[in-house]
Structure 1
């Protein structure tokens, strides 16, 4: 088989995939569906605020905190979709929607998140260029002495995958701190005044309601529960997308299809799980077609998977529990200095894509005889 010819045909094959998606009307924004979803979430949030006021100074507010955290994550999903121009045909309308929703409802900075997220989409899982690759882990040294030589420390270092999941409870606080640092820094920040104003309204409203309705002890607990669950829910969704998938170190620009598909994984899911994950269960399709609305990703996945199989590109799709298991094992292995286990063979794919086999669990794709 002529591997050079296959490699040369990749741009053409990607165009064929785009053509199929357009023919099935899978890339067009779904404005009406998003408007209805926004109204539904807004109504639920209004009921949640009303319940907060009516319940008063009671530990039943824990239920309200759980509901509010759940709803804010789904508003964050809307911000994500708006940032990718999935809602309106006019890019400016998408951006304004995302800015206002992020600041006024979620209470976070859109411009901070958008800068970080754009860098991720440009270079997914690139060890130097993707900010999401960085992990809060302790790397094992060849020889651990002193305090680090204690058995509990050694056990922790080599099994610190659980640390990642525990730290997700702090993600909510991290988002708000990073948002304010971004907005108050020197330099140009798009929509700075608007974001500061709307976030200030959001945060001051929360503080006023807490002081007015709750006693200090319950207020502190409710805020902690809300922030913890908000961050944990977000983290548990976004952690599944790329962690434990091949890492890119090659500075060369590879084929777009390869760069996006090899480092992403899908979650096997039904319509309910897809709703819970804001459509991010179809991460491969989202990276290939970032402007495709979440409502069409399941149908788009059928086309993409068939296409990847036909051109010999590994298409990773695992269960939810298996994905979490891989993330856990990945953090453990990187912590003990085994990050090379995940280096992506993009150089080989650039020349002979059809002779790279799908990855075995916890390993990158395996090259067979004849790979460059």
Structure 2
């Protein structure tokens, strides 16, 4: 199960890190030229350095707090704080995977390994492979792993064959979505270890060593700073809230948006880059707090059009993208945070409707 989102590629570095070539579609080319001309694809190393440093200081402060109050149940109050900081860590890994942070592939890879594998216990190679396919064909029912039938389903065709317990899940999936995200923090770790079987040589060694180091370090930190009962409650709350936070960041982005028809004779393979990314994505309006909470993923349209664009530039590109869509008559979907969840959940509810009608 992976509401967060999610075939091996020739290199673990995220293939979506570079922009599509100018011939990716005549509708997109003028926009790409304007965005480049404004310098919005230039790296923001200083911004990322400050953000990473602040997050590291926050993590260090939480660890210090665990050492100081670990003998008291008050230590559990630090679990939600750690969950929020862990989500920031995941966003850094995501940005590094898209080469937003540095122009050096090796530097981005190191940043992603530290923030993903070591600090979160989430395999960077697994995430990159999955996320590449999602970016290449968002919401494509045959090519996007994020809409593949798993615990949740996203099309009536997927729902039609669900029986037994899976059928029950599909009937109630709209109500179960956010409760299920509470398991996502653990699921992401499990997927990474499972993915090691597909890796070979140095990649398997590096990925596996850092994943094991995370688990060993996490368990050691908990047991060294607090009693076992406190540690179990702390870990459960931390992992559950991390999963919920990530689910809240990724859920509004594509669910309930257009899904390209898998039949290439229809519209599935005829959309150019601009339409493929805009029509399948949803932006979330909000303040600086929304940008911070969602890690910039609320500018999902801009992110999908320009995956290597640094996070602080996404909002600056929004007016240009919106204007280009308006000139071409392409719907540009943007809504509030609460309404984005409502739309996504409504889509999942409607997908399960036929199964409820058969009861």
Asked if TM exceeds 0.5, the reply is yes
Cα distance in 2, alignment partners of residues 21 and 108 from structure 1: 33
Match of residue 69, structure 2, among 55, 58, 73: 55
Aligned to 1:301: 318
Aligned to 1:191: 203
- SS of 2:53's equivalent? helix
Q: Note if contact 2:302-2:321 (Cα within 8 Å) is conserved in structure 1.
A: yes
Query: How do 1:91-240 and structure 2 match up within 5 A?
Result: 91-134=105-148, 136-137=151-152, 158-183=171-196, 185-188=197-200, 191-240=203-252
Q: Which runs of 5+ in 2 are unaligned?
A: 1-22
| CA distances 1:83-104 after superposition (whole Å, capped 9, x unpaired) | 1010111222212221222112
- SS of 2:256's equivalent? coil
**CA offset at residue 189 of structure 1?**
6.9
Q: Note if contact 1:76-1:102 (Cα within 8 Å) is conserved in structure 2.
A: yes
| CA distances 1:251-304 after superposition (whole Å, capped 9, x unpaired) | 324211111110000001112210111100000000000000110101101100
Which structure has more relative contact order (CA 8 Å, sep 6+)? It is: 2
| CA distances 1:58-84 after superposition (whole Å, capped 9, x unpaired) | 221222111111111101100000010
Cα distance in 2, alignment partners of residues 85 and 189 from structure 1: 24
Aligned to 1:365: none
Decide which moves more: 96-105 or 276-285: 96-105
Q: Note if contact 2:76-2:230 (Cα within 8 Å) is conserved in structure 1.
A: no
- SS of 1:12's equivalent? coil
Closer/same/farther in 2, CA of residues 119 and 299 from structure 1, 3 Å limit: same
Cα distance in 2, alignment partners of residues 195 and 12 from structure 1: 40
Q: Note if contact 2:70-2:227 (Cα within 8 Å) is conserved in structure 1.
A: no
- SS of 1:13's equivalent? coil
Whether 1:243 aligns to 2:255 is yes
**CA offset at residue 208 of structure 1?**
1.5
Superposition RMSD in Å: 2.4
Q: Note if contact 1:140-1:336 (Cα within 8 Å) is conserved in structure 2.
A: no
Q: Note if contact 2:173-2:352 (Cα within 8 Å) is conserved in structure 1.
A: yes
Q: Note if contact 2:123-2:207 (Cα within 8 Å) is conserved in structure 1.
A: yes
> What TM-score, normalized by structure 1, do the two folds share?
0.81
Aligned to 1:279: 296
Q: Note if contact 2:40-2:313 (Cα within 8 Å) is conserved in structure 1.
A: yes
Larger Rg: 1
**CA offset at residue 12 of structure 1?**
3.1
**CA offset at residue 196 of structure 1?**
1.8
| CA distances 1:154-183 after superposition (whole Å, capped 9, x unpaired) | 8x8645302111100000110011111112
Match of residue 80, structure 1, among 94, 102, 106: 94
Cα distance in 1, alignment partners of residues 24 and 170 from structure 2: 42
Cα distance in 2, alignment partners of residues 13 and 140 from structure 1: 35
> What TM-score, normalized by structure 2, do the two folds share?
0.84
Closer/same/farther in 2, CA of residues 334 and 101 from structure 1, 3 Å limit: same
Query: How do 1:326-365 and structure 2 match up within 5 A?
Result: 326-337=343-354
Q: Note if contact 1:158-1:333 (Cα within 8 Å) is conserved in structure 2.
A: no
Whether 1:25 aligns to 2:35 is no
Q: Which runs of 5+ in 1 are unaligned?
A: 1-8, 339-372
- SS of 1:191's equivalent? helix
Cα distance in 1, alignment partners of residues 327 and 354 from structure 2: 35
Closer/same/farther in 2, CA of residues 202 and 158 from structure 1, 3 Å limit: closer
Cα distance in 2, alignment partners of residues 159 and 325 from structure 1: 15
Closer/same/farther in 2, CA of residues 189 and 262 from structure 1, 3 Å limit: farther
| CA distances 1:129-167 after superposition (whole Å, capped 9, x unpaired) | 10101352487669x9xx99xxxx98x864530211110
Closer/same/farther in 2, CA of residues 294 and 132 from structure 1, 3 Å limit: same
Q: Note if contact 2:66-2:226 (Cα within 8 Å) is conserved in structure 1.
A: no
Match of residue 276, structure 2, among 249, 252, 259: 259
